[in-house]
Amino acid sequence: MHFSLNFAPLVPYWPVFLDGAWLTLKMTVIAVVIGTVVGTLIAFAKRSRHRWLARLCGIYIEAVRNTPFLVQIFLLYFGLASVGVHMPTFAASVIAMVINIGAYAAEIIRAGLESVPRGQIEAAECLGLSTWRIAWHVMLQPSIEKVYPALTTQFILMMQASAMASQISAEELTAVANTVQSDTFRSLETYIVVAALYLCLSLLVKLVAWAAGEYFFKRRRIVRRAAAQTAQAARRRAAVSRAAGPNAPGNAGNVGTPGASGQSGTHAAQRSAS
C-alpha cells in the first residue's frame, strides 16, 4: 500500500487548531497561577504544628497524586452532575487542573521549605521580623528559587495533561484534533500538527518560566555571587599570607631583628652611665 503525507486538507483548519491551542494555553495559565498559590498554602499547612491540619493536607496530597487525572476530571464533571451540580466543561477542566497541580506543587515547595536552615529562621526571629516577613523573605523566596526548575517541569506536564479535558468535550487542542481527523480522514498528518503545536506550547511555557526566573531571582543571584567572590578573595589572601611566612611585606613591621635590638640597648646603657 502506497502512502504519502498530505497536509493540504488541513490548511482550512488552521484557525481551528489555533483556537484549540489558545484554549489549552489559557487553561494552563489559570490553573498554574491558582494551583501554585494553593500548593504554597498546602505546603505551609503541612508544616503546621496542628497535627490534624498537617494530616488533612497529607491526605489531600496522597489522594490526588495516586489517582489518575482523567478520573479526577470525571469525578468533577460527571460525578457532581449526578447530584445536581452542573458546571461548564471549561470550568470543570480548570478546577481539576488546579486540584491536581496544587498537590504536586505542595510537595515540591515543601521540599524547598525543608531545605531552609533552621538557624536562618531563628536569626530572622532574633532580628524581630514578623511571621509574614519571615515566611516570605526568609523561607518562601529562597525555597522557590531552589525548586523552580521542578515547578517549571510540573507546569509543562500539566499543560500536556490538559489533553484529558477532551474526554468531557472541552474544545482544547486534542479535542480539535479529533474533530479535524474525523472530517479529513488524515489522522497521521493531524496528530503530527498537534504534536508540533504541543511542542511549541511547551517551549513557550519554558521560555516564559525562564524569563520570570531571571527577573525575580536575578538580584539574589548577584548578591550571592558577590558574597562568594569576596569570600574567595579573602581565602586567597590568607593562603598567600601563610605561604609568604613572617618575612612577608605585611609582617615586616611586626618582626624585629634580635641583634639590632640588643646593640641599641647596649648603646643606651653606656650613654646613661656616662
Q: What is the pTM of this model?
A: 0.76
pLDDT digits (tens, 9 = 90+) for 138-179: 888 888 888 999 999 999 999 999 999 999 988 899 999 999
Within a 13 Å sphere around the CA of 181, how many CA atoms are in the beta-carbon half? 15
Mean pLDDT of the chain: 85
Residue 267 inside a domain? The answer is no
**Mean predicted confidence (pLDDT) in 16-43:** 94
Q: Provide the pLDDT for residue 244.
A: 75
> CATH number, domain at 49?
1.10.3720.10
Mean pLDDT is lowest, of 62-66, 159-163, 248-252, for: 248-252
Q: Provide the pLDDT for residue 221.
A: 67
What amino acid occupies position 170? A
Residue 212 inside a domain? The answer is yes
pLDDT digits (tens, 9 = 90+) for 113-136: 988 888 888 888 888 888 888 888
Closest Cα partner for 167 from 156, 155, 175, 176? 175
Residue 67 inside a domain? The answer is yes
Residue 256 inside a domain? The answer is no
Pairwise CA distance, residues 117 & 94, whole Å: 36
Residue 71 inside a domain? The answer is yes
Residue 273 inside a domain? The answer is no
Residues 6+ apart with CB under 8 A from 241: 248, 250, 251
Residue 86 inside a domain? The answer is yes
Q: Which domain holds residue 185?
A: 10-238
Q: How many domains does the chain have?
A: 1
**pLDDT bucket at 269, cuts 50 / 70 / 90:** very low
